[in-house]
């Protein structure tokens, strides 16, 4: 399982939500990749990312969770629980 966190340097919500995503991933031993959409626009488009922040959880390279915007720590934890992480 891997969490992809799509963000941008200019995005205030991205900066506010990042510590939550980092903490949850660290506590659960889940790999986290931070992807700047300005530096990786083709990859972001290929992942159907149209706004930031966006969290995508992959299992064996398949996206099993995709959500944009800020959401609660509990919602992130519940999503990972459902996936098995």
Instruction: Give yes or no: 47 in active site.
Output: no
Catalytic residue, chosen from 3, 4, 8, 14, is 14
Of these residues, 3, 8, 11, 57, which one is catalytic?
11
Which of helix, strand or coil describes residue 20?
A: helix
Q: Which residues of 33-64 are buried (b: 16+ CB within 10 A; e: fewer)?
A: eebbbeeeeeebeebebeebbbbbbbeeeeee
**Residue 11 annotated as catalytic:** yes
Question: Which positions are annotated as active-site residues?
Answer: 11, 14
């Amino acid at each position: 399982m891997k969490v992809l966190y799509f963000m941008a340097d200019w995005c205030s919500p991205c900066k506010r939500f990042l510590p939550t995503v980092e903490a949850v991933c660290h506590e659960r031993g889940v790999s986290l990749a931070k992807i700047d959409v300005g530096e990786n626009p083709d990859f972001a488009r290929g992942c159907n990312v149209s706004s930031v922040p966006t969290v995508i959880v992959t299992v064996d390279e398949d996206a099993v969770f995709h959500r944009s915007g800020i959401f609660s720590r509990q919602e992130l934890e519940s999503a990972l629980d459902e996936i098995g992480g």
